[in-house]
Chain A
Amino acid sequence: MPHLATYVALVDHSERTLAESLRAVADGHARQADVFHTCHTLAGWSERHREDLAPVVERYGEQDDVDEPERLRADALTSTREGEIGLLRDLQDLHLLATLVHSTWTVIAQGAQGLRDRQLLEIATSSTAETTRQLTWLTTRIKQAAPQALIVAP
């Protein structure tokens, strides 16, 4: 099962990237109080997904050296952009990262089904549900920020 292990590693990595990026965006746009608080909350979810996954990672062993999905790895946002248009772009970056997390969990859930690995399936299902909520919030907030940022922002 080298590929499943690779995907377990990948989801672990992308949840970490997402969590770090959420925290970076929270702090970078702290003056937007809702962005600050919600991004920190959502980062907590991603961190919890990783904790839930830890025993599975141990069971499968993290296969970090398989080439192919390497290209799927995204880097965390370390710095954020300025102003309303900057917030919009940062939120879009988060959306991309969360989409990667989401599809990776989907792949893992399929694998877990095939292997009848209940523990992994449960983790994948509950994590996917929360990733969906992260994406929903990002979409909502992007919609809210877009008109002002595109048309009038200084």
Chain B
Amino acid sequence: MARPVNAETDQHDELRALRGDYAEKYGFHDDRVNVFETKRGLTEDIVREISAIKDEPAWMLEKRLEGLRHFLATPMPNWGGDLTGINFDEITYYVKASAQAETAWEDVPDDIKRTFDRLGVPEAERSALLGGVGAQYDSEVVYHSLKAQWEEQGVLFLSPEEAVQNHPDLVQEHFGKIIPYADNKFAALNTAVWSGGSFIYVPPGVHVDIPLQAYFRINTANAGQFERTLIIADEGSFVHYVEGCTAPIYSKDSLHSAVVEIVVKRGARVRYSTIQNWSNNVYNLVTKRAVAYADATMEWVDANLGSKLTMKYPAVVMLEPGAHGEVLSIAFAGAGQHQDAGSKMVHAAPNTTSRIISKSISKDGGRSTYRGLCKVYPGCTGVKANVVCDALLLDDKARSDTYPYMEVEEKQVDIGHEASVSRVGEEQLFYLMSRGLDEDAAIGMIVNGFIEPIVKELPMEYAVEMNRLIELQMEGSVG
């Protein structure tokens, strides 16, 4: 899979040709009359209303209400980023833009279709690089498709609402088991008001060898998006899921608070890649966790480029010997942004291994925080864990902090940790400029080189997209 992205490709020129700014490319919004939205603020009635719209069984409503009770009873977290700007009474928790999820692109309402066209979503599907596509607009999935080849092999790629209706056993077996509602305030909130997301089941031995992609779009001002994703990779299977997200630029803040639960059974492998590019008025507070059984591998590739504040720490709980967890993350914090990201690796069985590589870039007063936990339970001998976190500061106003927590309760383990903070050096810049590159191109080259170890893990199209987004960020045009 390793492929040096910036070797011998035409990418740089493509990137230059694709230059533009966030406002133009993603920051637009559709003026539309939504099919339905709940009243602002959060009450038990609203939770019941959401559940009723989805025609849910009683057990799901019960989970929602438990989530709501816990949410109301839990104080705001007092660590991480500054959450005081969130006003829960101002948020619209459910916005339904279209009547139903379509499986034919033509049937999606015109304005929504145009939005996704503009974002390149159906194009990506037609390009045969994807095995399936989902598109969510505000609270509901408006489009979903899975190529016949995978459907025939029993792969499910659905909205979670559909899964609740048609595969209730699978949902009940796993929903809220990996991330219980009581895990944290935002997981509780998501449990109460969740809507949309993805449900994926891959049967034993099936390898979905091209990615499934979901695209998330917030359109309505002050709306919250609370998607819920559940992925179950049965024994010996493989799937790569990719999500992207953007939102219009509004003066008021939006809240995106997702929960993603993943089960990786014996010998299976799941890769979950995120290119998070929310506009700078979005609070992005997401809980992501996977459990990995014997010899299973879970990989999170997590890029956080947008949002006002992101707090996200993808986790892997390794439950049986031979399980492997991996997090490759990139964060880019520009003016007014705080990326508080990292990961959690929980070694709950002997001979499990994990690797974290985190790269952050900060400029113009932006702030990146790496917050990671590596936990090894007693008796888990033979654990190997390695953490590398590197921060690159592009100017004197930028800030970077590292909080690597280690809770290791076993002696026979091999744990490595390295952290570095560097600045774009005058000598490096001079060297590159002496070869004809202007200052921006030289900084861009240094930044692209810095994130290369992670970008090279992405499929080609995403690698190009990633470099393009980084370039947008460098121009400081986001938000």
Partners in one complex: no
B interface residues (Cβ-Cβ under 8 A, vs A): none
